[in-house]
């Protein structure tokens, strides 16, 4: 199957959670981080070490839907390319259910998206990310640096 090159490249996986100010408590944020990490790793096989979650709060009057102020929240995950569509859709469904369970807010107020990125164009801690499925080899090749950075045990 021919794929169109992805020009929206960034480090991954990074999940950006954008909400209105004070929508989430610290406890809810911690639960969301845990669930995003669990969902991502269980569906992709990627190590927890790779999963980053960033929360951004937006003041009232700065989020709009159909030209009107809204209470919409967003979760955008930048993930490595190479995952089957069924895997990505299963992740979306679990992320949506997790959000509803933790926040008590329904699907109407949440926009979810997973954006695939070429891992060869992303770097963290001075290391180019491995392709999806090549983590074991990558860990072996980069063990000394990962230990030096304190990211894995010796």
Give the domains, in start order, of the chain with CATH numbers. 14-148 (3.30.429.10)
Q: Give the pLDDT band (50/70/90) at residue 12.
A: low
**Contact predicate 18/73, CB 8 Å:** yes
Tens digit of pLDDT for each residue in 74-111? 999 999 998 999 999 999 999 999 999 999 998 889 99
Interacting residues of 149 by C-beta distance below 8 A, sequence separation 6+ = 125
Question: What pTM value is reported for the model?
Answer: 0.84
Tens digit of pLDDT for each residue in 28-81? 999 999 999 999 999 999 889 889 999 999 999 999 999 999 999 999 999 999
CA distances for 127 relative to 53, 112, 136, 138, angstroms: 19, 28, 14, 10
Q: pLDDT value at position 113?
A: 98
Q: Give the pLDDT band (50/70/90) at residue 4.
A: very low
End-to-end Cα spacing for the chain: 41
Look up residue 78 and give its two tokens: 């930048």
Q: SS3 of 105, please?
A: coil
């Amino acid at each position: 199957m021919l794929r169109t090159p992805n020009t929206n490249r960034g480090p991954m996986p990074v999940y950006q959670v954008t909400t209105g100010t004070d929508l989430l408590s610290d406890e809810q944020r911690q639960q969301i981080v845990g669930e995003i990490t669990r969902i991502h790793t269980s569906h992709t096989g990627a190590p927890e070490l790779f999963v980053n979650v960033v929360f951004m709060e937006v003041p009232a009057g700065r989020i709009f839907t159909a030209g009107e102020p809204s209470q919409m929240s967003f979760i955008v995950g930048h993930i490595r390319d190479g995952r089957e569509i069924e895997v990505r859709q299963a992740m979306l469904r679990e992320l949506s259910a997790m959000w509803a369970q933790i926040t008590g807010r329904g699907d109407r107020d949440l926009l979810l998206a997973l954006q695939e990125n070429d891992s060869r164009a992303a770097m963290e801690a001075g290391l180019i990310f491995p392709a999806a499925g090549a983590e074991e080899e990558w860990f072996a090749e980069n063990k000394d640096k990962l230990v030096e950075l304190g990211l894995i045990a010796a």
